[in-house]
Amino acid sequence: MKKVIKSVFQIIESFFPHHCYLCDSENLLPVCEKCYTSLPDLKIQSIQKAREIDIYFQSLFTALPYSKPIQTLLHEIKFKNRKKLLEYILSQLLFEFPEKYDLVTFVPISLQRFSERGFNQAQVIASKISKDLGIPIKSLLRKKNIKKQSQKNKKERFESLLYPPFQMKRKNKVKDSKILLVDDILTTGATLAGCAKVLKTFGAEVTGFALIHADLLE
C-alpha cells in the first residue's frame, strides 16, 4: 500500500511543481492563488489596428495583454516545455466568441520544434477552444522548413506573406467553411496571416485568434 501511495505522489509531482512559477512560493499548483488573481482577466476583443493583415481575416480576436506575469508563464511553456502549466491555465478559462464557426484549427510548428518541445502550444489552446465551443478541431496546415519567424525583423515577416511558409495538408476540403484559426501570441500578425492566406486560397472564411497580444498592437 505504501508503494502505491508513493507512486501516486510521484505522479502528482511529475505534473505539478512544489512552487509557483511566478513568485516561487511553495504551492502545489503551478500558479498560487495570489499570483493568479493578479493575472489579467480573459477578455475576447477585436483587433482593429493591425491593418497590414486585416485583408486575410473576416475578424481578428485576442484575449490577454503581454504583461510581465504572462511573459514569465509563456517563457516557461515555450522554452521549458511546460505543457501541464498551459493546460492548467486554460482549465481556468472559458472561451466564448461572438461568431459561429464550423471548425477550429491552429498554426503548425516544424517537426523539429515539435520533437524538441513535445507539443504545439497553439494546438493545446485550440483543443480547449474546441471543447468550449463544441466544434471539431482539425489539423489543416503544415509548416515548411525555412527560417523561423522569430528570427526575422518586421519587414521580413510581412514580405513572407507573399510566399507563406505554410501549406495545406492533402485531402483537406475547407471551401465555404468558417474556420477559427488559433495561435498562442500575436506580435506583427504575420504568422497568423500567412496561415490565413493559405486557407483563404482554398475557399475558407477565416477568423484569427491569438491568446496573447503584444503591446505594439495597442
The CATH number given to whatever domain includes residue 118 is 3.40.50
Give the domain extent around 9.
Answer: 1-37
Question: What is the share, in percent, of the chain residues with pLDDT greater than 90?
Answer: 36
Residue 59 and residue 96 share a domain: yes
Give the pLDDT of residue 4: 45
Residue 178 and residue 164 share a domain: yes
Task: Map residue 176 onto helix, strand or coil.
Answer: coil
Q: Could you tell me the pTM of the whole model?
A: 0.81
Residue 121 and residue 86 share a domain: yes
Domain total of the chain? 2
Partners of 181 in the beta sheet?
Answer: 105, 208
Give the pLDDT of residue 152: 58
Alpha helix ranges (H) inside the chain? 2-15, 33-38, 68-79, 83-91, 111-117, 121-133, 154-159, 190-201
Distance of CA 65 to the CA centre of its chain: 14
Residue 175 and residue 77 share a domain: yes
CB atoms within 10 A of CB 197: 19
Distance of CA 2 to the CA centre of its chain: 41
Q: 108-117: per-residue pLDDT in tens?
A: 998 888 888 8
Q: How far apart are CA 16 and CA 11, in angstroms?
A: 9
In the block, which residue shows the cell 483543443?
Answer: 127
Partners of 103 in the beta sheet?
Answer: 179
Residue 122 and residue 194 share a domain: yes
Decide the pairing of beta strands 205-213 and 178-186. parallel
